[in-house]
Amino acid sequence: MEGLGINLSSLLAQLVNFGLLLALLYIFAYKPVIKMLDQRSAKIKESIDQTEQIKEQAELAEKETARLIAEASKEGQKIIDQATQIGEETKQKAKQDAKIEAERLIAKAKLEIERERDDAIGELRNAFADLTVIAAGKVIDRSLDKEQHRQLIDKVLEESKVLNKN
């Protein structure tokens, strides 16, 4: 033992040295560094979790947006369809109105024309009757009873008129 150099005082001194080093390193190295390492790994874990969460939220938001866009598109389509339909209806109605109006005008014009014609025919007949009476008077040189004569011509005309109409 003596040859190896084992002695109690040195042994005690080295034990004390070790204890001292253990205490000092515990205070200055192990405790703060391990705390820091744990803190950092916690932080990293937190960051990863947060990233995951944000990703999830973004996905959700994207889905929501897509849904809204689809909805809006559908709504827009519906409105356009409605507008087209209304436009079509309006157009049809305008067309119909115009047609009715035109027909009415045509009918009115026809009526007018007929009336004009009838008037013209009436006038012509009167004039013709007078002329005939005068001509006949001249031929026989004697004045016929004007009234009688007139009736006679009217009768003839009436017959011709029937004939015409048929």
For other proteins, the closer of residues 34 and 86 by Cβ is 34
For other proteins, the closer of residues 16 and 54 by Cβ is 16
Q: Which amino acid is at 22?
A: L
Helices (H), the chain: 8-25, 31-140, 146-165
Residue 53 sits in the site that holds other proteins (CB under 8 A): no
Please tell me the number of Cα atoms within 13 Å of 139 on its side-chain side.
Answer: 6
Residue 35: C-alpha distances to residues 25, 46, 137, 139, 150 (Å): 14, 16, 150, 152, 142
Q: x/- site string to other proteins, residues 22 to 41, per CB under 8 A?
A: x-xxx-xxx-xxx-xx-xx-
Q: Which amino acid is at 70?
A: A
For other proteins, the closer of residues 17 and 82 by Cβ is 17
Residue 45 sits in the site that holds other proteins (CB under 8 A): no
Residue 14 sits in the site that holds other proteins (CB under 8 A): yes
Nearest to residue 1, comparing CAs of 12, 11, 14? Answer: 11
By CB under 8 A, name the binding residues for other proteins. 2-7, 9-11, 13-15, 17-18, 20-22, 24-26, 28-30, 32-34, 36-37, 39-40, 43
